[in-house]
Amino acid sequence: MNPETMIQLGDVELCVQTAGDRGDPAILLIHGAAASMVGWEEELCERLAAGGRFVVRYDQRDTGRSTVSRGGHPAYDMRDLADDALGIVDALGLDTVHVVGRSMSGGTALILAVDHPDRVASVTFMSTTTGDAGLPGPTSAFRDAVAAPAPPLDDHDAWVDHTVAVIRAYHGESILVDEAHLRRLVELELARSTDPSAANNHFAIDTPGPVNGGFGDVGVPALVVHGELDPVFPLPHAYALTEAIPGARLVVLEGAGHELPPARWDEFTAALLEHTAPGTPR
Q: Which of 62, 83, 115, 230 is catalytic?
A: 230
Rounded to whole angstroms, the Cα distance separating 13 from 179 reads 32
258: annotated active-site residue: yes
Non-local CB neighbours of 10 within 8 Å, separated by 6+ positions: none
Q: Which of 103, 127, 174, 193 is catalytic?
A: 103
Sheet of strand 5-9, all strands in order from the earlier edge strand to the far edge: 5-9, 12-19, 54-58, 26-30, 97-102, 120-126, 222-227, 249-253
Q: State whether residue 45 is helix, strand or coil.
A: helix
Q: Which of 164, 159, 160, 196 is nearest to 178 (CA)?
A: 164
Residue 173 CA: distances (Å) to CA of 155, 189, 227, 255, 267? 29, 24, 11, 8, 19
Rounded to whole angstroms, the Cα distance separating 140 from 131 reads 18
Q: With contact defined as beta carbons under 8 Å apart, do 230 and 258 qualify?
A: yes
Q: Which of 171, 202, 258, 275 is catalytic?
A: 258
Q: State whether residue 157 is helix, strand or coil.
A: helix
Rounded to whole angstroms, the Cα distance separating 217 from 238 reads 17
155-156-158 Cα angle (round to 5): 70
181: annotated active-site residue: no
31: annotated active-site residue: no
Give the residue numbers marked as catalytic: 103, 230, 258
